[in-house]
Chains A and B, each alone.
Chain A
Amino acid sequence: MNAVARRRAPMPRLALTWFRLGAWLRSPKPCLALAGYALLLGFWYLSVEVFKLPRFAGMPGLTSVFHEWTSRNPTYGISLYIPVYWVHILVSLRRIGIAFLLATALGVPTGLMLGWSRAFKEYVFPLFEILRPIPILAWVPLAIIMLPGSELPVIYLTFLASFFATALNTMLGVRSIDNSYILAAGCLGASSLQTFRHVIIPGALPFIFTGLQISVGVAWFSLVAAEMVSGQFGLGYLINTSYTSVEYPTIVIAMLTLGIVGYLSSAMVRLAGHWLMAWRVPQLVTDGRR
């Protein structure tokens, strides 16, 4: 093996992930990101607490929110030191986890079938197109009537939007596959099951992961909507109760928490995508898109 080939041989996935993390930390990107955060927080601080702009005056300010968030003895009962805060987070995470896994487990196969089988598409897609545009909030009453308890309706609503996003993107992924790959596989002697496993599934993966990114996003969106109407715990529930009992700093704490866990969950999906599609990394690098 010559030296060039050895140096440029594909790295093991874990090493590649660490390498990219290191490269990111050394680049100016983290500083720019921090500057972006600082800008927003600065605007918040100045508009509410320093200049007290007209509509901003009644809002919870930066310092009061952070004071409340990190207080051992919070005025409104929610901070990092209060166990029930963590219960709210865990309950929401559990619902997201169940709904997202369910949506992926059902959505990916449905999407693959929609893209692969013409007959399946003829049956299912028209139905799909009628159900998909119905907003999640419109499903709320039916979900509560149909499903027992308060947990199942919330999970159902969260699942629904994720499922459509995943299935639709997976279908587009299958249709995006260059026909010559399918012809080549057939030419080399692959059966249609083999073509499905070796060409259709890996070929659709980039779109599937785009779908999963969207899916986590809409999952949080519909989760909060569902928790506001039903359930006894969860970040959406926390926002709603804090609103009715006029505990404004708690609302902002819950919102920021949603932002952080939402970001982390989509980062995890992205990481899983990179992990499964190591073959795309060199391609993205040569396209200058990484």
Chain B
Amino acid sequence: MIELRHVSKSYGPGRFARPVIEDCSFTVEANHFTVMMGPSGSGKSTLIRLVAGFEKPSAGEILVNDRPVTGPGQDRLVVFQESALFPWMTTRENVQYGPRARGELTGTGRARTDFLLEKVGLHAFRERYPAQLSGGMQRRAELARALVNNPAIMILDEPFRGLDALTKKMMIEYYAGLSAESPRTNLFVTTDVDEAIFLANRLLVMSHIPARVREVIEVDLPRPRSFTRILLDGRANALKMAALSLLHEEAMKAFGGGNIPAADFIEAHRRRVAAM
């Protein structure tokens, strides 16, 4: 379980400090899929870096299983926005890097590497370098590299960004399947509502910068989910609409910034929403 209590973070010295996160509190339930959504540039990635322990909050505290976060730990693995596979290592070397670094590359460690390579369908490609893999394969290799360590918590920061629409949908379904097999705590960041509704138990809609939780939406749709069923499901669509209108409002704040053409655009958007 991850718990954020009144977390704030600002960058810059003294009176030039710019708050990116302000008084943000939420919990990520154990073995649940929590999806965080927010307009781009709203400090989601900063929040992720704080939870991962790469940076420290300016105020407030972050607890993981009731213990404060002091730095990165192998109980919380991060899958980054863009591929962070080491280009100089083959797929297999990348996947087994965690066990190797911790000196756990014994028989079982190797067996688990092979098992996961098989699981993500990359066993035949294990001696390739990342540059020789397609975008989708790289993402799967990265998932395998995290999962091989059997982390209690997975933190995924827009992990499927940049993939084409079809590959992305397949990856989402694939990851949902993997998570269903071995439940763990997931904190997943995205800007894609379909992805969010598909995966989430709970949806956190973040405000425009400085980031705060604007609203929590419980997504109590049955599992396993499929994109077609969600498309036809009235309740799923209602949730999606709710999330979208909140997001739009926050995005408009980011877009607006006080200038007149933007204000007109926002006004027109309001009228359109009201008419719906």
Contacts and interface: CB of A to CB of B under 8 A. Distances in A.
Give the size range of A's interface with the partner: 20 to 34
Contacts of A188: 74, 77, 97-98, 101, 145, 149
B78 A282 contact: no
B88 A202 contact: yes
A201 to B, nearest CB: 9
A205 B88 contact: yes
B87 interface: yes
B86 A10 contact: no
A277 B132 CA distance: 14
A187 B77 contact: yes
B52 interface: yes
A190 B87 CA distance: 17
Interface of B: prevailing SS: loop
B242 interface: no
Interface in B73-96: 74, 76-78, 80-82, 84, 86-90
Given A5-B125, A286-B131, A185 B52 contact: no
A279 B149 contact: no
A189 B96 CA distance: 12
Interface string A1-24: 110010011100000000000000
Contact of B128 (A10, A181, A199, A202): A10
What's the interface size class on B, roughly?
A: 20 to 34
A183 B98 contact: no
Contacts of A282: 129, 131-132
B131 A283 contact: yes
A187 B129 contact: no
Contacts of B149: 188-189
A183 B84 contact: yes
Contacts, number: 82
Interface in B57-80: 72, 74, 76-78, 80
Nearest to A6: B124
Contacts of A198: 86, 97, 101
Interface in A155-193: 178, 180-181, 183-191
Contacts of A180: 80-82, 84
Contact of B124 (A1, A10, A203, A283): A1
Contacts of A187: 52, 72, 74, 76-78
A278 B77 CA distance: 29
A277 B88 contact: yes
A183 B78 CA distance: 9
A184 B127 contact: no
B82 A191 contact: no
Contacts of B229: none
A202 B86 contact: yes
Contacts of A280: 87, 131
Contacts of A181: 84, 86
B102 interface: yes
B54 interface: yes
Given A183-B78, A188-B145, A189-B102, A199 B131 contact: no
A184 B132 contact: no
> Which of A187, A205, A280, A282 counts the most B-chain CB atoms under 10 A from its CB?
A187
Contact of B88 (A2, A191, A203): A203
B84 A279 contact: no
A13 to B, nearest CB: 13
A203 B84 CA distance: 12
Contacts of A203: 86, 88
A8 B149 CA distance: 29
28 contacts: A5-B125, A8-B128, A8-B132, A10-B90, A183-B52, A183-B54, A185-B86, A185-B101, A186-B54, A186-B72, A187-B52, A187-B76, A187-B78, A188-B77, A188-B98, A189-B102, A189-B149, A190-B101, A198-B97, A202-B86, A202-B88, A203-B86, A279-B87, A279-B131, A280-B87, A282-B129, A283-B131, A286-B131
